[in-house]
Chain A
Amino acid sequence: DSGVTQTPKHLITATGQRVTLRCSPRSGDLSVYWYQQSLDQGLQFLIQYYNGEERAKGNILERFSAQQFPDLHSELNLSSLELGDSALYFCASSRQGEEQFFGPGTRLTVL
């Protein structure tokens, strides 16, 4: 158990819909990272937040957004969903930045 929690574990929705994925980092970790894992793209970095502020952006689509709240939990919002958005979404957290601890992931299925 990494100490990072993610909800929900599974999410099934339809194209065009909007969903929110939630992540709670390890106690004391200020950084939260979001990744997308798919068979064709591998593990792709989406976005990083540090103590409530956006720190770095990766291959995140404009339809996707994230935020980190004062209690340090983070949410990833995915809108206008497409079939190709079906993937595993991981959250990771870190304290100093070098070592990341991953949550169990949310499996998103878009039908």
Chain B
Amino acid sequence: DTAVSQTPKYLVTQMGNDKSIKCEQNLGHDTMYWYKQDSKKFLKIMFSYNNKELIINETVPNRFSPKSPDKAHLNLHINSLELGDSAVYFCASSPSSGGAINEQFFGPGTRLTVL
């Protein structure tokens, strides 16, 4: 059973298009995250939701809009895609947002290529 799953695994699209990436976790965790990993492998947090509530919103263009319909799902919608959006996007989840070890579990990633 997959703990954190993402769809699609690969996404190739044209500049200017709008696309969505979906994430689901079956670990019963309260907190979910979106990370972007660029071509230099730098992994940077974008957003975090705790029980459907946005708790982290790093400096991200407002073309990126996360949505959490329930605590097991966190989707990422991207409007007006640009070349610089090409990266691997990882979803992650953790039991809560603070406290103790609170290890984050990562999904397999979505490789987005904008042409």
Asked if chains A and B come from one complex, the reply is no
B residues with CB within 8 A of A? none
Which residues in A have some Cβ–Cβ distance to B below 8 Å?
A: none
